[in-house]
């Protein structure tokens, strides 16, 4: 009887660990649901170029901004043009694009470096790439 009880306890513990891991995995994905993306007409980038850059930001945000929820992500040509050449040069790349975002931070303060229970607005994401490449890389992020 004692072996049976021990087996039941072990199975229950494994099940509970599985449930907790599943919950944490689902919660981690909450940071990027229902994002309001705005992709205006651009004289520099195609809609696909901008969408690809946004995909990179969303993926990064999901993995590295725990406790935060991305609400808005947009491209503003004037903001991007004003500093894109400098960003590209800084990262030794041919092109740079600047995206802007708004996001909310929960009571944890994200990784501890953000203000708990706050909203960050017009947060910049600088992405870079070489000509001929369709792959954007995040250079940096934050307030300009």
Instruction: Indicate the average pLDDT of the chain.
Output: 86
Residues 42 and 89 in one domain: yes
Q: Which of 18-22, 54-58, 74-78, 122-126 has the lowest mean pLDDT?
A: 18-22
Residue 44 belongs to domain spanning: 33-142
Residues 50 and 11 in one domain: no
Residues 18 and 41 in one domain: no
Strand order in the sheet with 95-105: 36-38, 68-75, 95-105, 118-129, 137-142
Residues 99 and 116 in one domain: yes
Contact 37, 79 (CB under 8 A): no
- Token pair recorded at residue 80: 């991007």
Residues 38 and 73 in one domain: yes
pLDDT value for 116 = 95
Mean pLDDT over residues 61-67, rounded? 94
Per the structure, how many domains does the chain have? 2
Residues 41 and 24 in one domain: no
pLDDT value for 26 = 43
If pLDDT is split at 50, 70 and 90, which confidence band does 140 have? very high
pTM: 0.77
Residues 20 and 85 in one domain: no
């Amino acid at each position: 009887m004692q072996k049976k009880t021990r087996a039941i306890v072990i199975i229950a513990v494994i099940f509970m660990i599985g449930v907790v891991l599943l919950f944490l995995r689902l919660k981690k994905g909450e940071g990027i649901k229902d994002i309001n993306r705005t992709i205006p007409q651009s004289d520099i980038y195609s809609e696909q170029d901008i969408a690809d850059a946004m995909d990179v930001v969303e993926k990064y945000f999901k993995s590295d901004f725990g406790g935060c929820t991305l609400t808005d992500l947009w491209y503003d040509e004037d903001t991007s043009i004003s500093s894109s050449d400098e960003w590209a040069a800084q990262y030794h790349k041919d092109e740079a694009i600047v995206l802007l975002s708004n996001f909310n931070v929960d009571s944890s303060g994200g990784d501890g470096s953000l203000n708990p229970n706050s909203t960050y607005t017009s947060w910049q994401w600088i992405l870079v790439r070489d000509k001929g490449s369709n792959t954007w890389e995040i250079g940096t992020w934050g307030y300009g």
